[in-house]
Chains A and B, each alone.
Chain A
């Protein structure tokens, strides 16, 4: 008799994912919901969505969930957590949402040491709107709004969110991971679990930055896109822990 090695996390509902083939969101959502299941916190969890491809998450969740406005997920999460301090509140945000229009909200949520967990998906582009330049777009990277390649002299270098938040005392846990290989996926899951533990222990703000592939907007096959995480993203966005708690 065969035994299934894996199953759909209970924290996901039956809706099929709307992500493109080869998109990393599927893996990351699977990791987040598996961690919630394994920690047994699904019944107390509130998921705060964003705007962008990751913004579909509330439609897939089998936990309490809410959509937020573009960039404002940390503010929504702050309001929820402050009214219901015993609930587990997490935001799921892309790079356009968190690192561009929502920089004030994420910086100040971290600064206040909000006891929330943020999953930050960095795929160096605005996926949903069709591949425009993001604050995380690499220098030289061609997008639909940087057709000649990102010019650092014109619009600056890509923002390193974990490094930026490292300057903030209220950030209790910061780690950058990637989902380009089975080994890194396992490390990513460990970091996500740690980020939820940070909240459960009341240590402060926790964020996991996940380097992710967007084959559709990168114009690559899924395999090529995973290769790009390794060859181009990790050299600029080094993996590792930037802040941990006791």
Chain B
């Protein structure tokens, strides 16, 4: 398949189908609605199931059931719907049920603003669980991440979240489906799936919320086995010019694209590096070890107020460099110009 021009949302849906997604359960919400629309059009003729649920909550619980039955399944939403899916996401991490959840982030609730945002960072693993959270910054990468996410979910029996934002979902971009990551081989058989006890020679299978000691055993297995394996094997990052940078920018998704524009503008003025986490969890703390010791500051542009990823950046910086946030202004969301302005301001401060 040659390169095609596609909307980010549609590219993610197509990638999922090519990855063998058997069922999609969704609910309309801007700016992700092209995902359920694409599945409803494409999945049934290609042998899969599309079902529009009565709510985001129901969709996620259908995903949970379909995953428990052994299916390769997915849902998608935006921030307001993601809140409603979190209870089931937590339940699926505890019962080790794989699935892919695409979150196309926006800023407002309900009838509020639907502009792109990066405000759901803390929902992807706050609480007593962690999920691999991938953050694409262009259409090709969005498709590739969704494609690989199904294998990661199945390999570790843990849900995977794709944390895109409204810009990634809505932008048109070229995508080449021949350039998807290799399919992982030897994925574990889903012998735990609910297919009736006759499928196991009469042995019944129960997927229970563990209670008492069993609960803490499950938590301990996650802490000592699952999460270390994910951290060791699935952490992704892109670093540009951090070894000799005067200032390092740390950003993901659309904010990282704005960083590239700001870097172009400031070329010749000062040396800027970029650390772009491709996985927000596991967070690429190690990437900050390569930063120039003489670097003066780290700036963390995010499409939000106050910053969310900045907490992880501060942990990575470990006091070696001052870390500051730049984000939405009084009039609009983050822009490349705002990053340029912030860089100049910080540069002035650190040299004062």
Q: Which residues of A contact B (CB under 8 A)?
A: 13, 42-46, 48, 58-59, 61-69, 72, 75-84, 87, 104-105, 107-108
Contact = CB atoms under 8 A, between A and B. Distances in A.
B206 A105 contact: no
Contacts of A69: 61, 87-88, 91
A62 B196 CA distance: 10
| Residue of B58, B63, B66, B73 ringed by the most chain A CB atoms within 10 A | B58
B279 interface: no
A103 to B, nearest CB: 10
A67 B69 CA distance: 13
B65 A64 contact: no
Contacts of A67: 95, 207-209
A77 B53 CA distance: 13
B55 to A, nearest CB: 6
B65 A87 contact: no
A72 B209 CA distance: 14
Interface stretch (B140-148, B197-205, B294-302): B197-205
Nearest to B49: A82
Interface in B307-339: none
Nearest to B196: A44
A200 to B, nearest CB: 14
Nearest to B68: A66
B195 A65 contact: no
Contacts of A75: 53, 57-59, 61-62, 64-65
Contact of A72 (B49, B69, B88): B88
Contact of A79 (B61, B198, B208): B61
B69 A84 contact: yes
Interface of B: 22-23, 25, 49, 51, 53-55, 57-59, 61-71, 73, 87-88, 91, 95, 194-198, 202, 204-209
Given A45-B196, A68-B61, A78 B54 contact: no
A217 B61 CA distance: 30
Contacts of A42: 197
Contacts of A107: 54
A72 B60 CA distance: 10
Nearest to A45: B196
A64 B65 CA distance: 12
Interface of chain B: mostly helix, strand, loop or mixed: mixed
Contacts of A66: 65, 68, 95, 194, 206-208
B68 A80 contact: yes
Given A46-B194, A75-B53, A62 B61 contact: no
21 contacts: A46-B196, A58-B206, A64-B196, A65-B206, A66-B68, A66-B95, A67-B208, A68-B65, A69-B91, A72-B58, A75-B64, A75-B65, A76-B61, A78-B51, A80-B69, A82-B66, A83-B69, A83-B70, A104-B54, A105-B61, A108-B58
Nearest to B94: A67
A193 B53 CA distance: 29
Given A72-B88, A79-B68, A43 B197 contact: yes
Contact of B208 (A43, A44, A59, A82): A59
B156 to A, nearest CB: 20
A48 B208 contact: no
A20 B297 CA distance: 64
B254 to A, nearest CB: 32
Given A64-B205, A65-B206, A75-B62, A43 B198 contact: yes
Contacts of A80: 65-66, 68-69, 194
A76 B65 contact: yes
A78 B197 contact: no
Contacts of B209: 67
B61 A84 contact: no
A48 B194 CA distance: 11
A166 B205 CA distance: 34
A58 to B, nearest CB: 6
A44 B204 contact: no
B226 to A, nearest CB: 20
A46 B67 CA distance: 14
B91 A83 contact: no
